[in-house]
Amino acid sequence: MKLTELKAIQLAELFSALSDTSRVRIISILIEGEMSVSALAEELKMTESAVSHQLRGLRQMRLVRARKSGRQVFYTLDDKHVIDLFQRGLDHVLHG
């Protein structure tokens, strides 16, 4: 197939977005709908700081979008392609 080095890097980066347990859990929750940082933190039993750090990464990868409302920030999923990959990966894990 002979990928260029650039394409190989981009592909690895794409999958890296989903290669961490915390990010996987964040995404699995956001599939239900938008949620604030503190609500995510409570759900995940993680500190708000740790969640915020991961959300920054997901933001930079354009996987989530932030909406500010008062002093809260609500996050939603923003990349249909990656979410589709996520669902397919999940199918694989759940049934064969």
Partner DNA sequence: TGAATAGTTGAGCAAGTATTCATATATTAT
Partner DNA sequence: ATAATATATGAATACTTGCTCAACTATTCA
Binding site for DNA (CB under 7 A): 16, 19-23, 36-39, 41, 46-57, 66, 68, 70-74
Query: Strands 64-69 and 35-36: what pairing?
Result: unpaired
Whichever of 32 and 69 has its CB closer to a second copy, that residue is: 32
Quote the CA–CA distance of 86 and 71 in Å, as a whole number.
30
Q: List binders of a second copy among 32-91 (CB under 8 A).
A: 32, 81-82, 84-86, 88-90
Whichever of 65 and 70 has its CB closer to a second copy, that residue is: 65
Share of the chain residues as helix, strand and coil, in percent rounded to the nearest 5: 60, 15, 25
Q: What 8-state DSSP symbol labels residue 36? A: E
Quote the CA–CA distance of 96 and 84 in Å, as a whole number.
18
Q: Which tokens hold the place of 61?
A: 């990868």
Q: Which of 14, 37, 39, 61 binds a second copy (CB under 8 A)?
A: 14
29 binds a second copy (CB under 8 A): yes
Instruction: Choose from DNA, a second copy, none: what does 72 bind? Cβ within 5-8 Å by kind.
Output: DNA
